Structure formats: structure tokens, C-alpha cells
Amino acid sequence: MEQIQEFIELNNDKTIILSIGKYSKAFGFDYNLFGIENYNKIHKLLESCKIWESSEEEILEDYKEHYERADAIVLTSPESPFDIMVSAVDILEEIHSPGYKKNIINYSRKFHKFSVSTNSNKDYYFDLTILDNKIDSKYLAESSYLKILDIINIFKEKSTELKFVEPLT
């Protein structure tokens, strides 16, 4: 968690996003949940929570989100089916993309936004966005880490811990 805390402190002027996917040195980070079954497990877990401050669905049609990644680190575990990319990004204007469609469901509480999404290519995603990284970085690092572990651990019988791999700039 120290790496996440330091990352937040170094990038406090950026949007911090933790994404689930799979990392390999040969291919980099694949931001995908690898199937609707995994998407449905996460969506069901998020839907079961009754204390969201807000939940909303949005549909992007004919354009894609666009951001510029300034910095990133990866957390991984050989025992886990997923790894985590922690990215510091600048959100830019959307890119026009005719025929592209993305359904996003956002759940917000306190300093975090949980997002599950699927696009017209049948790809499935999960992101955890820190909504305000100007508050205590230790709290944000710990709470974000625990929230992301809760999501990953629904795919395992035994809980796992993630380890820092390397910075990815």
C-alpha cells in the first residue's frame, strides 16, 4: 500500500484510476474482465450494496472516452486471476467514433466511484476512480486497496494480496 500512497502523493493533480485486468511483461496490461460471467459477478456484488450515495447508468454512443496517462504502476499476484493497474490520468475530450457504444454503470460513495462497463466489442471492464485525491493519501491508498481486493476476492476461495511489480511510464 505504500506504493499506492506514494503514487497518489506524486500525482495529486491527476485523476487516479485503479483498473482490473491482467499484466504480463510481454504484452503489458490488458484492461478486461475476460467474459460476461466475471462482469456479472462484480455487477451483482455492487448491486447488493444498499448504501451508495449515487448509482447511475450512462451510455456513450459514437464517441469514446479519451485520457492521457501520465504515470502508472501495476500490482499483481500469482494467486489471483486479476492484476491491478493504478493510473494517473488527465481526462481529455471524447473522441468521435461512429458505431462505438459503451454502457457504464457507476456507483459512488464517499471518495470512490466504482464502474462496470461493456462496449460494442463485447469487452467488459471494472474501474475504481478516486474522486478526491487531495485528502489524506494514506487513507485513500488503504481504502482503495481494500476495495479493489474485495472485488478481486469474489473470484477466489481464499483471499489474496497484491504486490507491487514496477512503474509503467
> Where do the domains of the chain lie?
2-167
Q: Give pTM, 2 decimals.
A: 0.90
Where does the chain have alpha helices with state H? 2-10, 36-48, 137-152
Q: Residue 91 is inside which H or E element, if any?
A: strand 83-109
Reading the chain (169 residues) residue by residue, the pLDDT tens digits are 789 999 999 999 999 999 999 998 888 999 999 999 999 999 999 999 999 999 999 999 998 888 899 999 999 877 888 999 999 999 888 888 898 999 999 999 999 999 999 998 899 999 999 999 889 999 999 999 999 999 998 987 666 667 666 556 5
Instruction: Report the distance separating Cα 147 and Cα 8, nearest Å.
Output: 16
- CB neighbour list of residue 109: distance below 8 Å, 6 or more residues apart: 49, 51, 52, 53
Q: Which three cell numbers stand for residue 60?
A: 456513450
Class of the domain covering 2-167: alpha beta
**Partner residues linked to 39 by β-bridges:** none
What residue type is assigned to position 78 of the chain? Answer: P
Place of cell 506504493: 3
Q: Which of 127, 148, 137 is nearest to 17 (CA)?
A: 127
